[in-house]
Amino acid sequence: MNRTIISTEKAPAAVGPYSQAVKTEQFVFTSGQIGINPLTGQLRLGIEEQSRQVLSNLAAVLAAAGSGMERIVKTTIFLTDIAEFSTVNKIYAEAFTGQPPARSTVQVSALPLGALVEIEAVALVN
């Protein structure tokens, strides 16, 4: 099985020893994206701004892999406060109209750089 490391400047650089995504013949597996603005390197403020930025970063990584948001089959959302679920869900729904992917949402005690939300995805390629 071939695997290709995916990297784009249109999404924040990895903050550790990992790749933004790995592409195989059929799928692209993204690392979790947080709400860092790739132009400034700064974490957006608030759950709404971070959620929108996370989805934008995710779209950029998928585009670099030759995929797209419409090709996602599964996402996992990590929240530091499950009470923000409805806010994130509303913004998420704007990104996935029609037939949304499968999804899990979990609360975690903390995320890198103090982020409030992180989303990872598996998407089809080709």
Query: Mean pLDDT over all residues of the chain?
Result: 96
Domain encompassing residue 59 = 4-124
Pairing between β-strand 102-107 and β-strand 72-79 as defined by DSSP bridges: parallel
| 1, two tokens | 């099985």
pLDDT exceeds cutoff 90 at 122: yes
Q: How confident is the model at residue 126 (pLDDT cuts 50, 70, 90)?
A: confident
Closest CA to 117 of 99, 105, 101, 100: 105
d(C-alpha 13, C-alpha 17), whole Å: 11
pLDDT tens readout for residues 16-36: 899 999 999 999 999 999 999
Under a CB-based contact definition with an 8 Å cutoff, are residues 93 and 55 in contact? Answer: no
Q: How confident is the model at residue 15 (pLDDT cuts 50, 70, 90)?
A: confident
Task: Quote the pTM value.
Answer: 0.96
Report the domain count for the chain: 1
Element at 53 (helix H, strand E): helix 46-64
What's the CATH number where 68 sits?
3.30.1330.40
